[in-house]
Amino acid sequence: MNQVTHGGNVWQGDDPSEWLDYSANIRPGGAPEWVKEALQKAMDNISYYPATDMHRARKGLADYLELPETYVQPASGGASAIELATRCGMNQVLLCAPCFGEYKGAALKMRLPVETVVLLQEDRSIASPAKAVKDTLQERTLIWLCSPMNPTGHTFTRQEILDLLDLARERRCRVALDEAFIDFCPGASNRDLVKTWPELIVTGSMTKILGIPGVRLGYLCSQDALQLGSKCLPWELNCFAEEVAVQLPFHKDEMLADAQQSALRTQVFSEGLRSLGLTVYPSSSNFVLVDLGRDAEPVIEALKEKKILVRRCMDFAGIDDGKHLRLAVKDDKTNLKFLITLKEILTCAENH
């Protein structure tokens, strides 16, 4: 069975809070107050089975995403949405890499052939997806693309998405666009395109922007969302995820403010990393990809000794050279602490 690598491995002892986790890209400070209030409100419903049709969660998500309810399928986290998308009836899967390992994991689980096209160029630019896959794309293929791209943080333009959809229509393919981090990029979503493009499936997750990985709330958007959703297990969402989804449309302003604050933190953190002589890829999300220019393993282990976790990149095609790390962006005080610690480790390594 394929084992997908994730960050967030804080369960290495009895107390997860002892770790400073830069390996998982979660909202600094955890869930906002309104989410905590929603979770508390959901306690009133723990004695009842959730509605199997998820109509309350579907309406909340649809209002938040500004889509018709029939185009939205709630899911138990982004991973569940990815699995549903993979069941769309295509004959093979094409990954636009570097990318999240869950796409390949879902395809292998369904025994679908998987091919990979690396978009990352030698000059660290990102190739146009349509141009990169055009020569090898076979009919009846599901094309996976992530925007913002994980782990580079690169966001694709609307025209690049449209070009890929044009190619997909020509080859009788479908495009699965993962927007798990899109809430950190206000105005950059392409989910509205599902209204006019039956070839498009958009998956997403509220985990990152709301800081709720333990709640499991994701979604899938497409013209055939309800059909794909029929493959869900009964009671896909628990009452806690349901209540958060219900409350989403009423808190857009707070989420926008979070995204704007995150963008500033990403900029400052990136500049701090560059001041250490590191190569930092431009990112429009709440994480950055860093090329240390040296073997990352000693640095990873030194950070771990100080109870700091970072994300290895050996399972990302195109950056599996042992020199890259993906780092979450946290609050300014914590980021400064990380930069000071990293500088000490790098200086120590240079002096030996």
Please tell me the predicted confidence (pLDDT) of residue 3: 47
Mean pLDDT of the chain: 93
Task: Assess whether pLDDT exceeds 50 at residue 4.
Answer: no
Q: Are residues 27 and 61 in the same domain?
A: no
Task: Assess whether pLDDT exceeds 60 at residue 130.
Answer: yes
Position with higher pLDDT, 139 vs 3: 139
C-alpha span between 97 and 104 (Å, rounded): 11
Q: Are residues 171 and 276 in the same domain?
A: no
Q: Are residues 125 and 273 in the same domain?
A: no
Q: Are residues 39 and 23 in the same domain?
A: no
Q: Are residues 73 and 202 in the same domain?
A: yes
Does residue 11 lie in a domain region? no
Mean pLDDT of 334-341: 97
What is the pTM assigned to this prediction? 0.93
Q: Are residues 179 and 137 in the same domain?
A: yes
Task: Assess whether pLDDT exceeds 70 at residue 276.
Answer: yes
Q: Is 68 left (phi over 0), alpha (psi -120 to 50) or beta?
A: beta
Q: Are residues 280 and 212 in the same domain?
A: no
Does residue 144 lie in a domain region? yes
Which of 71, 72, 52 lies closest to 61 in space, CA to CA? 72
Does residue 131 lie in a domain region? yes
Give how many domains the chain has, as a whole number. 2
- Tell me how far apart the 2 most distant CA atoms of the chain are, in Å: 62
Q: Kindly report, residue by residue over 234-263, the tens digit of the pLDDT.
A: 889 999 999 999 999 999 999 999 999 999
For position 296, which CATH number holds? Answer: 3.90.1150.10
Q: Are residues 138 and 242 in the same domain?
A: yes
The parent domain of residue 173 ranges over 33-251
Q: Are residues 131 and 203 in the same domain?
A: yes
Which of 152, 157, 155, 190 lies closest to 25 in space, CA to CA? 152
C-alpha span between 37 and 277 (Å, rounded): 44
Last residue of a domain, one of 204, 226, 251: 251
Does residue 62 lie in a domain region? yes
Please tell me the predicted confidence (pLDDT) of residue 282: 95
Last residue of a domain, one of 221, 251, 281: 251
Does residue 230 lie in a domain region? yes
Q: Are residues 156 and 230 in the same domain?
A: yes
Please tell me the predicted confidence (pLDDT) of residue 15: 57
SS3 121: coil
Q: Are residues 170 and 278 in the same domain?
A: no
- Using pLDDT thresholds of 50, 70 and 90, give the confidence band for residue 1: very low
Does residue 1 lie in a domain region? no
Does residue 2 lie in a domain region? no
Q: Kindly report, residue by residue over 152-202, the tens digit of the pLDDT.
A: 999 999 999 999 999 999 999 999 999 999 999 999 999 999 999 999 999
Does residue 68 lie in a domain region? yes
For position 174, which CATH number holds? Answer: 3.40.640.10
Contact between 287 and 23 (Cβ < 8 Å): no
Q: Are residues 128 and 54 in the same domain?
A: yes
Please tell me the predicted confidence (pLDDT) of residue 29: 87
CB burial of residue 67 (10 Å; 0-12, 13-18, 19+): buried
Contact between 126 and 120 (Cβ < 8 Å): yes
Last residue of a domain, one of 251, 273, 305: 251
What is the identity of the amino acid at 162?
A: L
Q: Kindly report, residue by residue over 10-46, the tens digit of the pLDDT.
A: 545 555 577 899 998 889 989 999 999 999 999 999 9
